[in-house]
Amino acid sequence: MSTDRYGFWYPQVDYTKCIKCGICVKVCPIIGEKIKNTNFEKPKVFAAWSLDEEIREYSTSGGVFSELAKDILNKSGCVVGARYNEQNLVEHYVVDDISDLPMIRQSKYIQSFTGDVFKQVRAKLKQDKIVGFCGTPCQVAGLLSFLKGSPSNLYTFDFVCRGINSPKAYSKYLEMLEKQYGSKVRKVWFKNKTFGWNRFSTRVDFENGDVYIKDRNTDLFMRGYIEQNLYMRSCCFDCHYKTFPRNADITLGDFWGISRYDSNLDQDLGTSLVMLNSEKGEKLFGNIKDDIYSEESSMEIALPGNACIVENAVKNPKSERFLLMLDKCSFDKSFKMFVKGGGILKIYNKYVRLVFSFLNRMLRFIKGTCNE
């Protein structure tokens, strides 16, 4: 794998060793042979959270992934997920013990390096171990293509994915914070719940004991991701996996907007969206029923707050230029150059729309009263 100028990893073929067997093309889930998908055309949808308060607090949403992983690990299985390495970059890692589960918990918004983890999964499956694999929808598709199907002892989890971000942009963001705080980063925690689940925040702990924390509206990295689409991988704007049936047995996410239908299901502590896509997923979810609170919902309720289940983000035409600018300037300086007053303008426009909406309603009311 090599890094392109935008900071993304891509496979490179060593043609001095290549025997032109074509296997790499065959196992590519996009251009290769398609694996037959017999999962549900319409997933079964639930709102849920872990009854373990600590798991729920330290999870991105409601902690359902941790409960599913615990069930597998308690049966002498293993779970594969993304963790931070010593450089605070993200890589996939095999967990065999519940004590290591926290390292693959929580969201990580950059491309994960998978290394040879697919081979490790295959080896575990051949040992008749139960394996749980969690990754992006395309990573799950890649694993299933590599394995030529889904063995009975494999459970796959994907998530509602908006798209992955450039490790280059993320590294420059951390570099900016290290300069501001005069210390190396010790821990990164996206979607921290200090200000509540709905205002999910980015928290960064430093070796000198300092802590940085800002919510989604003020943290530059999350603004560049959610508001601006500044550093997402180009293929994520044309994702082939925002469709049904999904490849994974279970799809997880944040159940944004659930309070509009039932305020009791949003305690601002994290509520998981759970989509059961297969009989295997349904069975595994049933195994943890005593460890979670869940209520059945529907895709019609889930979609308004989770458009990325079926919709792609729109590419920012400034994206490539922004990523190249990072070679010359710091993250915050680059951000200011490409997003001048973006946050203030967004807030201003929001309140202008609210004022005009209120005035229009008043005018209609006055007109209606006059007509009477």
Per-residue b/e over 290-310, b at no fewer than 16 CB within 10 Å?
A: ebbebeebeeebbeebbebbe
Q: Residue ranges of the domains in the chain?
A: 2-164+232-309, 167-229+315-340
DSSP alpha helix (H) spans, 79-182: 117-126, 137-147, 167-181
- 177 vs 51: CA distance, rounded Å: 35
Q: Evaluate whether 68 touches 92 at the Cβ level (below 8 Å).
A: no
Give the single-character DSSP code of 310: T
Tell me if 2 sits within 8 A of 9, measured CB to CB. Answer: yes
CB neighbourhood size of 324 (10 A): 13
Overall size of the chain counted in residues: 372
- Residues 31 and 25: their CA atoms lie apart, in Å, by 7
Cβ within 8 Å of residue 121, ≥6 positions away: 80, 94, 131, 133, 143, 147, 154
Which pair of structure tokens corresponds to residue 295?
């209520």
What is the token pair recorded at 282?
């349904």
CA 356 to chain centre: 36
The reported pTM is 0.89
Per-residue pLDDT of the chain (372 residues; tens, 9 = 90+): 899 999 999 989 999 999 999 999 999 999 988 888 999 999 999 999 999 999 999 999 999 999 999 999 999 999 999 999 999 999 999 999 999 999 999 999 999 999 999 999 999 999 999 999 999 999 999 999 999 999 999 999 999 999 999 999 999 999 999 999 999 999 999 999 999 999 989 999 999 999 999 999 999 999 999 999 999 999 999 999 999 999 999 999 999 999 999 999 999 999 999 999 999 999 999 999 999 999 999 999 999 999 999 999 999 999 999 999 999 999 999 999 999 764 444 444 455 445 545 555 555 555 454 444
Judging by DSSP bridges, how do beta strands 9-10 and 272-276 pair with one another? Answer: unpaired
